[in-house]
Structure 1
Amino acid sequence: MRILVVGKGGREHALVRALSESPESPEIFCFPGSDAIFQIAKSVPADGLESLVDWMAQNSIDLCVAGEESYLVKNEGLANLCKKAGIPCWGPPKESAQLEASKEFAKEFLLRNQIPTARAVTTSTMEEAVTAIAGEYPTVLKFDGLAAGKGVAVCPDEASAYEFLNEVFTHQRFGPGRVLVEQCLTGPEVSIFAAIIDDQYLIFTPARDYKRALDGDLGPNTGGMGAVASRQLISAELLAQIEKEIVQPTVSGLCSEGLPYRGFLYFGLMLTPDGPKVIEYNCRFGDPECQAVMPLVKGDLAGFCLAGAKGELKPDLISFDDGWSVCVILASHGYPESSRSGDVISGLESPGDHRIYHAGTKLAEDGSWQTNGGRVLAIVSQGQDRQSAVASAHAATDLVSFPGQQRRRDIGILNFD
């Protein structure tokens, strides 16, 4: 089996490794990839989506796996181009990927299908947004488009709201787009992942990520500073409620609205006093949740995704470890406002029962690994109970270092103890 994974970050490194460990030992390729990914996968001589799909067709690729969200909605769309070329793609077509690409599209879909979510108003100017907020704080502001995980702001006061709105409307940090002014929900968050194949689905291991930069959930929002994953994270009763009220109606809504879907769908949920509600959809695995979840997936992930891309759900091909997985992110100096590259990383060869996924690194000419982005590494450990997984993950993270590194030391601890 020949598989191509699209993306370049820590999530894709985790997917590439998990797919490569499938029983058939598939041949893995990646685009655009990274130095670390190319330790496992082979690079592809392409310079864009069209040339990539042409290369896949010419090189008998059996399966394309979408990792990074932007390719699903870029130009004609990755899955759409794969379909034209007759290549099975594990990832939704462009029209369905609007669930992530447009917050407005997702909100209207949720409301049409009576799926629990927060109240929201779509605004086109700063003046409209300020009017919609109406002095009610905290409020949630969401840029209506892809923003690499940075397009959402939870604003406790007027000053923070104006700062975000200025970034969007005045400076157009994310490009042109509108803003959703949304009711601020309260409660713990949980990430639910489902493999969706037309009108069927399989729920993967639930996870929870830590978005704030500093311990105690303080500091600015980031793309994620760590995550925990376990079948024990929420009760079986709560998972059944989420499936009945959110997952099933989402799958039914996709089918009834003629939105084809074969791939992973992420449900970002808030467990409010009124029950679970959808904060957002992502049309791929979360990052860094993927790095925490993938080590808990056992069996033939490659075969599962290939069958799914062809329209067949085969849950017997995979199983899920009942233990815990904890992922700790090491970020570079200045993150999330900026990042620093070129700092030498030490300790990557430290022995231990843990996994290291590269997100923002490069291999220097002298053979050393250096920082090359905001989130640099994800260090992941498992355990049969949360405490042992937490201890192992943080001990493993202590072994790795580089100048200016940032990390949180309460991953897997905060909101539990």
Structure 2
Amino acid sequence: MKVLVIGGGGREHAVCMTLAKSPKVDKIWCAPGNGGIADIAECVNIKATDIDGVVAFSKENKPDLVVVTPDDPLALGMVDALEAEGIRAFGPRKNAAIIEGSKSFAKDLMHKYNIPTAGYAVFENSDEAIAYIKENGAPIVIKADGLALGKGVTVAMTEDEAIAAVHDAIDGGRFGGAGARVVIEEFLTGPEVSVLAFVDGEHLSTMPSAQDHKRAYDNDEGPNTGGMGAFSPSRFYTDDIAQTCMDTIFKPTVAAMKAEGRPFSGVLYFGLMLTPKGPKVIEYNARFGDPETQAVLCRLESDLFDIMNAVIDGKLDEMDIKWADNAACCVVMASGGYPLAYEKGKEITGMDNVTESIVFHAGTARTDDGKIVTSGGRVLGVTATAATLDEAIRKAYADVEKIHFEKAHIRHDIGIKKG
């Protein structure tokens, strides 16, 4: 079978590597791919958001499956466009991808169907938003309504910080059209947990829990990023909590999307906070998370190609998906300055010395003379598995020390904090 994977980050490297394990898959393309993906797939110079280009390539090369992984092409309707040409595609259609593409849609859905989440209000006028902030005080959370590369959320500890975030989004155009509307949310406390699930429109099968680290610096300081590392499983996600989430969040969300005429098929990401009043939804994503995917897929024992086809065919309930009883830790190596300004083109050395981890490439490129250089903010995801989480963390950081590029930046506390 031939598979085309859309995207070029660490998540796509993990997806390609996992698909390559399937005995049924003998050819993988990746558009656009990156320097590491090129070792296992043929990289195609098509942007992930180029729907016409992807459709044209698919009509010519006839992949048996197209896996659309990033948020932007899903929100733009790439799956719809592929299906319209009779091309088999994995991922939600546009009308279901809105669960990530519009935070106000997601909040209204949860409110309508009594799915636990933070209190909220939606604004398009900055004066009205600021009045709401002054009435409710801080800490408070400001979110751009649309897609903002994982950087559209401000957890404001003061009213001044919240007001500045509103001005940046609505008046300053910091996130373009994605920030023309903002969702202002109640500040919640508790451990955060990410749970990804395969969903076929009606049935769902959850993956092992994970936890992301969004802030750029140690101790959860600095600006939000796309994610500086992840580990799996969560230290806090017990069997009892998992059952509560299944009954009050996971199944109700899938049923709500179906009831709204927007059946969700693909990977649905539940960003949760385990509050003193029980688990609540912080956000939904309409696809594999990054870097959670790098940690979670390392633990998959079943055939990902088979799972994706079962999702498309609405037969997920017939699958018995197996996961390893182990732990994984992914440490992101980023360019200095990320998530703000950073330089590209820095040569990466030492990856051949890595012995106990998988190095997933995210922002890398291959030069004409075969060198691997940096080409993005998040550069590599060094991911180790072990019998225990503490051992996986140790192994990942030991291998991080072997890899070098100018101005490399990491967090030193991935998986270490206990709260």
TM-score (norm 1): 0.96
Q: Which residue of 1 aligns with 2:78?
A: 78
Provide the rounded CA distance (Å) in 2 between the counterparts of 1:386 and 1:395: 14
- Give the aligned partner of residue 227 of structure 1: 230
Q: Distance in 1 between matches of 2:57 and 2:375?
A: 28
Deviations 1:47-84 (A, max 9, x none): 6212311321332211111111100122xx11111221
**Are 2:8 and 1:5 aligned?**
no
In structure 2, C-alpha distance between the alignment counterparts of 1:153 and 1:315, rounded to whole Å: 41
Moved more, 157-166 or 122-131: 157-166
Other-structure match for 2:188: 185
Question: How far did 1:33 drift?
Answer: 1.8
- Residue 141 of structure 2 aligns with which residue? 140
Match of 2:52 among 39, 50, 53: 50
Please state if 1:268 is matched with 2:266: no
Question: Which runs of 5 or more structure 1 residues have no equivalent in the other structure?
Answer: none
Aligned to 1:100: 100
Asked if the contact 1:332/1:374 (under 8 Å) is kept, the reply is yes
Give distance in 1, aligned partners of 2:384 and 2:102: 34
Paired residue for 2:33?
33
- Cα deviation for residue 354 of structure 1 reads 0.8
Q: Which amino acid aligns with 1:137?
A: A
Show CA shifts across 1:83-119 (max 9, x none).
2112222101101111000011111111111100011
* Identical counterparts, % of pairs: 39
Moved more, 59-68 or 188-197: 59-68
Cα distance 1:270–1:213, how it changes in 2: closer, same or farther (>3 A)?
Answer: same
Q: Which runs of 4+ in 1 moved over 6 A?
A: none
| Deviates most, 309-318 or 53-62 | 309-318
Equivalenced residues, count: 414
Contact kept, 8 Å, 2:202 with 2:263, in 1: the verdict is no
Alpha-carbon contact 1:304-1:314 (below 8 Å) kept:
no
- The equivalences for 1:271-282 within 5 A come to 271-282=274-285
The answer on whether the counterparts of 1:88 and 1:306 sit within 8 Å (CA) in structure 2 is no
Deviations 1:167-225 (A, max 9, x none): 21222121132011110111110001110002111001110011111111112211111
Return the offset for 1:414.
Answer: 1.1
What is the match of residue 322 of structure 2?
319
CA RMSD, aligned part only?
Answer: 1.5
Q: Distance in 2 between matches of 1:39 and 1:385?
A: 30
Instruction: Quote how far apart the aligned CAs of 1:259 are.
Output: 0.8
Compare 39-48 and 253-262 and name the one that shifted more: 39-48
1:351-380 CA distance string (max 9 Å, x none): 412100111111123322111111111000
Q: Where in structure 2 are the equivalents of 1:8-407 lying within 5 Å?
A: 8-44=8-44, 46=46, 48-74=50-76, 77-135=77-135, 136-176=137-177, 177-230=180-233, 234-313=237-316, 316=319, 318-407=321-410
In 2, Cα distance between the equivalents of 1:68 and 1:79? 11
- Alpha-carbon deviations, 1:116-153, whole Å to 9, x = none? 00111111121111011125100000111000101111
Contact 1:3 1:65 in 2 (8 A): yes
Closer/same/farther in 2, CA of residues 399 and 46 from structure 1, 3 Å limit: closer
* Deviation (angstroms), 1:338: 1.6
- Mind listing any 5+ residue stretches in structure 2 that lack a counterpart? none
> Is the alpha carbon distance of 1:206 and 1:51 closer, same or farther for their aligned partners in structure 2, counting shifts above 3 Å?
same
SS of 1:267's equivalent? strand
Give the partner amino acid of 2:55: V
Contact 1:88 1:310 in 2 (8 A): no
How far off is 1:233 after superposition?
Answer: 5.2
Matched position secondary structure for 2:31? strand
In the alignment, residue 175 of structure 2 is paired with which amino acid? F
Shift of 1:36: 2.1
C-alpha distance 311-211 of structure 1, shift in aligned 2 (>3 A): same
| Cα distance between partner residues in 2 of 1:186 and 1:209 | 16
- Tell me the secondary structure at the aligned position of residue 72 of structure 1: helix
